[in-house]
Amino acid sequence: MTCAVPLAAMLSFAVQPMMGKRLLPIYGGSAGTWLGTMVYFQLALLLGYGWATWLLTRPLRFQRRATLALAGLALVTFRLPGLDSASGGILRIIWILGFNSLPAIMLLFSVSPLMHGWLRRRGEPVPYYLYAISNLGSLIGLVSYPFLIEPAIGLGAQRWIIHAGIALLTALIGGAVALGRDGLGNGSSVLGDGDSAATAEAAATASQDGEVTPLLTQLSWVGLSLLTCVCMLGATDLLAAELGSSPLVWVGPFGAYLLSFTIVFSGRWRDGMTTAATLSLIVGLTGFMFCKGPTSVPLAGAGFYFLILTVASACLIGNALLYRLRPAVRFDRFYLALGVGGVAGGLLLSFVLPYVFALPVEFMLSSALLLLGAVAVLVARREPKAQLLAALLTVVPLAGLWLRMLVLDGLNMEMQHMRNEYGHMLVRTSSTNGQSRAELVSASTVHGTQLHVDQVSARRPTQYYTESGGAGRTILQLGRGRPAMRIGVIGLGSGTLAAYGRQGDEMRFWDIDPKVIQIANSTFTYLKDSAAKVEVIAADGRRGLAASTDDYDVIVVDAFSGDSVPPHLVTVEALRTYFARLEVRKGTLVIHVSGRYGHPFPVLLNTALAAGRQAIGVTTHIAAAGVNADWDPSDTEYVIVPPADLRAAFKSVYPETEDSGRVTRTFSVPPAGSPEPNLIWTDDRHAAIDMIDLRVFLNWKTL
C-alpha cells in the first residue's frame, strides 16, 4: 500500500488545475473563480488531514472500513461541475467544488497521514520519509499536467483518468482489507479482535498520548508552514502577473516548494545543508531584488532564475526548521498544524495582504523572515564566523533593493499603487519638455497611456490603440460606411478605445477588476471625453456578451492576464458567442494579442477556423509617430476576423506599407483545409504551452 501515497499525491495535483479550468467558462475570470478554487483546495487539504487525525484515534477495523467507504463514495460522487449559469462568488465556488469532489479530495489528502499511522502501529518510528514520497508524487503530477496532460487530453478525458486513479487507490485499500493484513509487508492482522492486535493498538495510543509538545513549538509549526506557503504563493503571483494564470506558472515556484519537502523529509538533511541553503538564499534574494524587486520591470530571464533560487532556498530553510521541530510520535498533530499554516497563508495572501501593502512584497517579505530564522540558528551557534555571516545576511539584500530602486529605476516619476484580489496596478506619470504622460501598468505589462499637452493631445489614442493598429484601423474603416456603430470591448485598461467614439455611437466596456474601472474614470480622461455613449460594466466579458441581446459592429477582445489573453475568452465556444452578436450587423471581431513571450497566431487562426470563420493575424510595426496619427505608438499584434463579404477587401484596409514605410504590416493566414486539431482551443481542451514561448522567457538575457 505504500505506492498509494505518491498515487494519491499525483491525482490531487491533477484535480486542482482541472477543476479551476472547468470553472472559467462557467463563472468567468472573476476573483471568485480563482480565489474560491484555491481556498477550496486548501480547506479540503485541512479537512483531509483532520479526517486522518480523527480516524487514527479509532480502532483499526474502523479505520480501514471508513477509508474504504470514503473511497467508494469518492468514486460515485466525483465529477466535473455542470454548466451552471449562476453568479460565481467565492462561497458558491467552494460549495460547487465541494458538492462535486469533496469525498475524492479528502481521500487523496488523507492517504499519507493514514499510512504514517498504520506504519506507526507496527512499532516503527514515524515514517517521515513517506511525506517526502508524497511530495515527490505531487511534484510529478505538477510537472506532468501542463507539459503532458493539458496539451494532449481534454477535461472530460481527464475526469476518467481521475476516476481510474481513484479506482486503483480503492483497489489497493480493498486488497489490504480483504487479505486481513496491514498491506505494508507485515503479516500481522489489523482486522481481527485478538489480544495481540488490541495490545499493539493500546501501546501505540499510550505512546502518542505520552508525548507532550509545547504550545510554542506547535505555533512554530504553523508559522513556518505559513511563511513557506506565502513565499511560494507570492512567487507564483509574480509569475502569473507576467505570464498569465495557468498551471504552467505553478511549475517553477510550486515545484521548488514540493522539492524542498522531498529533500528535507527524506531523512538525509544535515546542518551543513541549512548553512548552504542560507548562503543560496542570500544570493537569490539579493539577485532578485537587483533584477526585479518591487518594480514593474519584466521578470523574465535573470529575474526568474533568481526568483526560483530564492523560493527553493527559502522553502528548504523553512522545512529544515520544521524538520528540526518534528515530533517523535505525534505526527498527526504535526501534519494538521502544517495544514492550518497552509490555509492561513493562502487566506492571508488572498484577502489581507493585498489591502495592507501597496506593493506586492509578500514574496520578498516572507523570504526575508525565513532568512532571519536561518540567521537565528547561526547566531545560536555562538561562533564568530557564523555571527559575521549573519550580519552580512541582513545587509546584502537591502543593498540589492537599494540599487534596484535608486540606480536602475531612478526617482523621476510619480507613482500611484493600487491592489486588490486581482493583483497590483501602477499608474506612472512623468513630465518632459512640458508634455506629461500617464501610463497604466500591471506587473510589467502596460495597459494604456495618455499624453497631456493640450485638450487635443489628451484625446488621441496611443500605444497599442493608435490609428494604424489593428483595433484603431478596424473601427475607423468600418465607421466610414456606418453613421452609427455599436462597439463592444472586453477589457477596459485606460479606456483608450473610447477615443474612437463618435456622436451617435454606443460603446460598451466589460472589465472584471473594479480598481481598473476606478483608475480609468479618475486618472485617465478617455471615457469622459468620448463623443459616444459609453457604458462600463464590471463583469467578465464573455459572460456579459453571452447574456446580451444586443448586436455589434465591432467586438474587441483586449483582456490580458499578465502577458497573455485569458484562455476562456478565445476558445471555440467563446468565439461563437462573439460571432452570434456580430452576425446581424456583419460585424468584425478584433483580438489583441501583443505580447513578449507568445506565439498566439497559430492557435487563434486554427481556433477561429474550427468556429467557422477565417481569421488573419496582423503584426503592425510603426517606426515613428506621425504628424496626425500614431502618437506614442507601439508595435502591435492583432487577430482580425472580418465577415465573409469584407474578407476580399482586407488588404486594402490593412495595406502592407503606409506613409513611405513609416508603417509596415506582416500577415499570418489560416492553414489551408481543415484546422490542426492540436492547435484548436476549446473549453474542454486548451494549454498555455501552445502559446507561450518559454525559450524567450527563460533566456538569461531577456529583460
Looking at residue 229, its amino acid is C
Closest listed residue to residue 507, CA positions, set 477, 522, 529: 529
3-state SS, one letter per residue, for 509-525: EEECCHHHHHHHHHCCC
Query: What is the DSSP code (8-state) at residue 485?
Result: -
∠ CA(136), CA(141), CA(142), 5° rounding? 95
Q: Name 489's bridge partners.
A: 509, 556
Q: Provide the residue ranges of all domains of the chain, joining segments of one domain with +.
A: 1-207, 211-428, 463-698
pLDDT in the model for residue 414: 74
Q: Which stretch of DSSP H or E encloses residue 440?
A: strand 435-442
Above 90 in pLDDT, residue 434?
Answer: no
Q: Do 1-207 and 463-698 come out as alike in CATH topology?
A: no
pLDDT in the model for residue 368: 87
Residues 608 and 586: beta-carbon distance below 8 Å: no
Looking at residue 301, its amino acid is G
Q: For the whole prediction, is pTM greater than 0.75?
A: yes
CB atoms within 10 A of CB 614: 14
Above 80 in pLDDT, residue 164?
Answer: yes
Above 60 in pLDDT, residue 192?
Answer: no
Cα maximum dimension of the chain: 96
Residues 524 and 438: beta-carbon distance below 8 Å: yes
Query: What is the DSSP code (8-state) at residue 567?
Result: G
Model confidence band, residue 350 (pLDDT cutoffs 50, 70, 90): confident
Model confidence band, residue 391 (pLDDT cutoffs 50, 70, 90): low
Cα separation of 288 and 277, whole Å?
16
Closest listed residue to residue 167, CA positions, set 230, 225, 88, 104: 104
Residues 532 and 498: beta-carbon distance below 8 Å: yes
Above 60 in pLDDT, residue 441?
Answer: yes
pLDDT in the model for residue 383: 63
Above 60 in pLDDT, residue 410?
Answer: no
CATH 1.25.40 fits 211-428, yes or no: no
Could you tell me the three cell numbers for 561?
A: 492576464
Coil, helix or strand for 611? coil
Q: Which residue has the higher pLDDT, 153 or 398?
A: 153
Q: Which CATH number fits domain 463-698: 3.40.50.150, 3.40.50.300, 3.30.390.10, 3.30.2350.10?
A: 3.40.50.150
Closest listed residue to residue 310, CA positions, set 371, 382, 229: 371
Above 70 in pLDDT, residue 187?
Answer: no
3-state SS, one letter per residue, for 31-71: HHHHHHHHHHHHHHHHHHHHHHHHHCCCCHHHHHHHHHHHH
Query: What is the DSSP code (8-state) at residue 660?
Result: G
Q: For the structural domain made of 1-207, what CATH number should be given?
A: 1.20.1250
CB atoms within 10 A of CB 21: 23
Residues 536 and 527: beta-carbon distance below 8 Å: yes
Cα separation of 453 and 211, whole Å?
74
Residues 646-657, mean pLDDT to the nearest whole number: 86
Closest listed residue to residue 114, CA positions, set 127, 99, 102: 127
Q: Please measure the distance between the N-terminal and C-terminal CA atoms of the chain and give it in whole angstroms.
A: 49
Residues 173-201, mean pLDDT to the nearest whole number: 48
Residues 105 and 52: beta-carbon distance below 8 Å: no
Strands 631-633 and 462-463 come out as: parallel
Mind giving me the DSSP string for 251-292? HHHHHHHHHHHHHIIIII--HHHHHHHHHHHHHHHHHHHHHT
pLDDT in the model for residue 584: 94
Q: 123-136 pLDDT, tens per residue?
A: 778 888 888 999 99
Question: For 195-209, 450-464, 479-493, 658-672, which range has the lowest pLDDT when averaged over its residues?
Answer: 195-209
Mean pLDDT of the chain: 86
Coil, helix or strand for 323? helix
Query: What is the DSSP code (8-state) at residue 561?
Result: B
Winning range, highest mean pLDDT, from 217-231, 358-372, 398-412, 558-572: 217-231
Cα separation of 576 and 683, whole Å?
12
Q: What is the CA radius of gyration of the chain?
A: 28
- 699 φ, ψ (degrees, to nearest 5): -65, 125
Closest listed residue to residue 543, CA positions, set 512, 517, 507, 506: 512
Looking at residue 526, its amino acid is Y
Cα separation of 666 and 668, whole Å?
7
Residues 70-82, mean pLDDT to the nearest whole number: 90
Model confidence band, residue 91 (pLDDT cutoffs 50, 70, 90): confident
Q: Name 665's bridge partners.
A: 620
Above 70 in pLDDT, residue 397?
Answer: no
Q: Which residue has the higher pLDDT, 293 or 108?
A: 108
Q: 573-607 pLDDT, tens per residue?
A: 999 999 999 999 999 999 999 988 889 999 999 99
Looking at residue 582, its amino acid is L
Above 90 in pLDDT, residue 150?
Answer: yes
Model confidence band, residue 200 (pLDDT cutoffs 50, 70, 90): very low
- 262 φ, ψ (degrees, to nearest 5): -60, -45
Could you tell me the three cell numbers for 464?
A: 497599442
Cα separation of 651 and 669, whole Å?
12
Q: Which residue has the higher pLDDT, 442 or 473?
A: 473
Cα separation of 320 and 469, whole Å?
54
Cα separation of 503 and 488, whole Å?
16
Residues 439-458, mean pLDDT to the nearest whole number: 85
Model confidence band, residue 198 (pLDDT cutoffs 50, 70, 90): very low
pLDDT in the model for residue 390: 65
Cα separation of 38 and 8, whole Å?
19
Q: Which residue has the higher pLDDT, 685 or 424?
A: 685
Above 60 in pLDDT, residue 45?
Answer: yes
Residues 6+ apart with CB under 8 A from 486: 505, 506, 507, 508, 550, 551, 552, 553, 585
Cα separation of 581 and 12, whole Å?
39
Could you tell me the three cell numbers for 72?
A: 467508494
Q: Name 230's bridge partners.
A: none
Cα separation of 1 and 446, whole Å?
52
Closest listed residue to residue 150, CA positions, set 24, 243, 242, 14: 14
